Amino acid sequence: MTELYRTDHRHIIKRIIVRGILVLDTPTCLGQGDTDSPTDLPLLRDSLHENYALLTGSSIAGALRNYLREHSNGYGESDRRNDLATKLFGDLFAYKNEQSESEKIKIELREKNIQSPLIIDDVTSTKPIEAELRDGVKINSATRTAEDKAKYDLELLQSGTEFPLSFELLIEKDNDEAILLKALAIALQGLEPQNDSKSGEICLGMKKRRGFGRCHVEEWQVWNFNLEDSRDRTSWLNFEHWHTGLFPDRATYPSIATALGVSLENESDRRDRFTIHAEFKLVGSLLIRSGQDSTGRAPDVVHLKSHRNDELKPILSGTSLAGVLRHRAERIVNTLGGNSTLLKEFFGFVDEKEAKASRLVVHEKVIENATELVQNRIAIDRFTGGAYHGALFDEQPIFGGDVTIELELRNPKEYEIGLLLLLLKDLWTSDLPVGGESSIGRGRLQGKNATLTWHKWDKEKKLKYKDTWTIAQKSENEPLDVTNPDRLQQFIDQLVDEVKKNE
């Protein structure tokens, strides 16, 4: 007798739809790689609506999968068969620990591979693109000047750009629904605002470790359709799939775990990281160069600004601060008698054969309560002592203000924490200027208070520890108030010992 039904189809018994509005908190580079564009890294645009930005489902899936894997396994760990990330986003043929297995076993593993049960839609921005242009350049650490032919520009989406996210989770008959819901809740939880920040922990696009691509989702809506029930089947068929965004007559939830009915209290975060959250006041002026105003009425050089809440705000960019920290770290290690190879995995590197991302995440921050002033400057002819012809120019740096510096070191070693402490000390005491024209006194910071936290995962005991230190100073002339300074000194001693090993 001929079989009327296929036996290898997906027996779907439930469909769960999740929606939310993703809001960008910092400029984001969703590049397309078009070599014909006037900019080196142009934005990806929707083919049907060229004035709207496109955020592909593959980009969202990659960011969510990476976050779920790091949360469940730790930083630097690869996918494992049957872990949460592979169950939610699909399984691969052979992992590293399976490469040496026989061909017969590989075939068996291939048959066990599963398709992702999570459908993620491509989405376009709710409004036409409002772009920012940023210049980037590679600095030679020896000469402190720009490398030849190493300048580039980026086209970025402005902060405040919104994307209507849409997910659909398919529950098959033999699936463990509780596991899939828990995995989805952990992954989407990375988009929710954190306690100390309005941004989520997941970033999108390029240069995520230099402050770009921070985002958040404030509210979620969830629909649960039981396809074994005829009324729910009809409701799913009549569902307005073409409708983007949230439904005004539908209840919203600030927590995706609550919306899905999942408890995450016993889920351990296995990420090992050291964070610094420090507040500084600007002593004098600061100038991080930006492009000239398109009207041509701006001064020759202006400080870098970015859109925040429909306003242009002066910022301390993550790329500029990271460059300053890297250069000073090289000087510290060289002074101690070591070599810069210790910093390759710390700050990342690119060479002809391989490349590695930085483990130090430097966030972009707004400078609050700053004042803008225009200064006239002129180059002096050293021979005559008079003004150099044609060398009069205007600058518009910012003066005063407060800025918060936020750093995160992933999978830290104790000597690397010691290096971060020395960098924090140099920033705190105004010895390490940020931005340009440091030779005429710009870019000096004075520390006010700092919170240092080590979220440490013990692999052997499978326990999470949290050590916290605080540093405070009421004024420049008063002593520091430091919690457990002896422990912080041990980190610095570890740095000295590590440098001696690598002499």
Within 13 Å and on the Cβ side, how many CA atoms surround 455? 14
Helical segments of 214-347, H only: 230-237, 256-260, 318-335, 344-347
Per-residue pLDDT of 351-384, as tens digits, reads: 777 888 899 999 999 999 999 999 888 888 888 8
Q: Does the pLDDT of residue 412 top 90, yes or no?
A: yes
Name the pLDDT band for 3 (thresholds 50, 70, 90).
Answer: low
Per-residue pLDDT of 482-494, as tens digits, reads: 999 999 999 999 9
Domain extents in the chain:
12-260, 273-501
Per-residue pLDDT of 308-359, as tens digits, reads: 988 899 999 999 999 999 999 999 998 888 777 788 878 888 777 788 889 9
Per-residue pLDDT of 43-99, as tens digits, reads: 888 888 778 999 999 999 999 999 999 999 989 888 777 788 889 998 865 555 555
CA separation for the pair 419, 425 (Å, rounded) = 10
Within 13 Å and on the Cβ side, how many CA atoms surround 402? 7
- The structure tokens listed for 140 are 């030679």
The beta strands (E) that lie in 158-296 are given as 162-172, 215-226, 273-283, 285-286, 289-290
355 CB neighbour count, 10 Å cutoff: 9
DSSP conformation class of 46? -
* Per-residue pLDDT at 108: 57
- Identify the weakest region by mean pLDDT among 190-199, 238-247, 302-311: 190-199
Q: What is the mean pLDDT of the chain?
A: 87
* Per-residue pLDDT at 1: 45
Q: Are 33 and 44 in contact (CB under 8 A)?
A: no
CA separation for the pair 416, 496 (Å, rounded) = 11
* Per-residue pLDDT at 293: 55
pTM: 0.90
Per-residue pLDDT of 415-449, as tens digits, reads: 999 999 999 999 999 999 999 888 888 999 999 99
* Per-residue pLDDT at 397: 92
- The one-letter code for the residue type at 234 is T
* Per-residue pLDDT at 351: 76
* Per-residue pLDDT at 101: 56
Q: Does the pLDDT of residue 110 top 70, yes or no?
A: no
